[in-house]
Homo-oligomer: A and B are copies of this chain.
Amino acid sequence: MYSFKNDYSEGAHPEILNAIVTTNFEQCDGYGKDTYSSKAAEILKQKIKCDNIDIHFLVGGTQTNLTSISAFLRPYEAAISANTGHINTHETGAIEATGHKVISVDVHDGKLTTNHVQSVLDSHTDEHMVKPKLVYISNPTEIGTIYKKEELEALSVFCKEKNLLLFVDGARLGSALTSIENDLDLSDLGRLTDAFYIGGTKNGALFGEALVICNDLLKDDFRFHIKQKGALLAKGRLLGIQFLELFKKDLFFYLANHANDMAYRLDEGIRSLDYSFLIDSPTNQLFPIFPNKIINELSQKYSFMVWAKIDEDHSAIRLVTSWATRQDAVTAFIEDLQSLTTHEIQTLTI
């Protein structure tokens, strides 16, 4: 059984593990005040090409979302999210648990535009309603699509104009930034957003998200928020060491690129067999539509998530590749699909 179920099935890239092992007996200050964390933050500032940012390392994505968003908002302020947004659907109401409404906007491709945000502003007019304040987007989105520079710039300009905050969930940011369709880099994110984070968990680290706070008004006392949410890791060195490994030599981009490459091979193989997709994704999540019969057969050898029912006989599945996805597994999957497809056609034509 080979898993295409998600991008956190394996542990960490060997170089990261090796760094953890090598430094194991050094005595470090706790709670992120170690030198590895400082160095990792310094390198990230160089990559983002900005010194005037604060960097905090947290353990996971939901944790980073809830800690940041609750820190950035006053009690009556709300976050705006695409209906597919992770905070809206897959965090067990973590944002609401900190007291804030998530205003959901129905979109087709997982992406918010200035029009979407404007429509939310139009319908929130006085103190009887929450005040929309933070625009939450994920790049890539939860369905694999990405924001082009032009789109992010438009959102950024709009948010500044309307006194809104722009926050980017980058749990899979590596996959977005190394996508063939991407034209953004880390410095664009630093320049265009109020805060964003760089996901390690889904790109080769054991765990870890690097939160980047760009807006000066959001920086004060942020460590109090981290501690209060139970998110201040005692052995913070672990986060510093991992991000140092990921960024000291572009391992982060190398790993993300591998994940995308594996996805593109899957994509190509599936298309060559004339299957269609629920949505076109240029990143490491694919949503092909197969006959249920074939899905059943595939599930004997591969694990993946059945994403959506298309009709009585067809469903979309989600295939996720990662830094650790083996090329032979991709090849085997395509061969199996091909053989199942041929068999199906023969069965139908008999």
Contacts and interface: CB of A to CB of B under 8 A. Distances in A.
A193 to B, nearest CB: 21
A202 B233 CA distance: 12
Nearest to A66: B230
Given A8-B234, A17-B21, A128-B90, A225 B76 contact: yes
B90 A101 contact: no
A282 to B, nearest CB: 23
Contacts of A228: 75-76, 91-94, 97
Of the listed residues A3, A93, A225, the one surrounded by the most CB atoms of chain B closer than 10 A to its CB is A93
A229 interface: yes
B30 A6 contact: yes
Interface in A71-90: 71, 74-76, 78, 89-90
Interface stretch (A57-65, A253-261, A272-280): A57-65
A10, A131, A229 pick with most chain B CB within 10 angstroms: A229
A129 B97 contact: no
A157 interface: no
Nearest to A73: B75
A318 interface: no
A174 to B, nearest CB: 15
A14 B11 CA distance: 17
A229 B230 CA distance: 8
Nearest to A14: B24
A65 B229 CA distance: 11
Interface string A1-36: 011011011111010010011011111111100000
A221 interface: yes
A234 B12 CA distance: 12
Given A25-B10, A233-B60, A233-B207, A96 B100 contact: yes
Interface in A204-238: 206-207, 221, 223-235, 237-238
A49 to B, nearest CB: 28
CB-CB nearest 4 A-B residue pairs:
A63-B230, A11-B24, A76-B224, A93-B101
21 contacts: A8-B30, A10-B28, A64-B230, A66-B229, A66-B230, A67-B230, A74-B221, A76-B221, A90-B128, A91-B228, A92-B130, A92-B227, A93-B99, A96-B96, A97-B228, A98-B99, A127-B221, A127-B226, A131-B221, A207-B234, A229-B229
Interface of A: 2-3, 5-6, 8-12, 14, 17, 20-21, 23-31, 59-67, 70-71, 74-76, 78, 89-94, 96-102, 104, 127-131, 201-202, 206-207, 221, 223-235, 237-238, 324
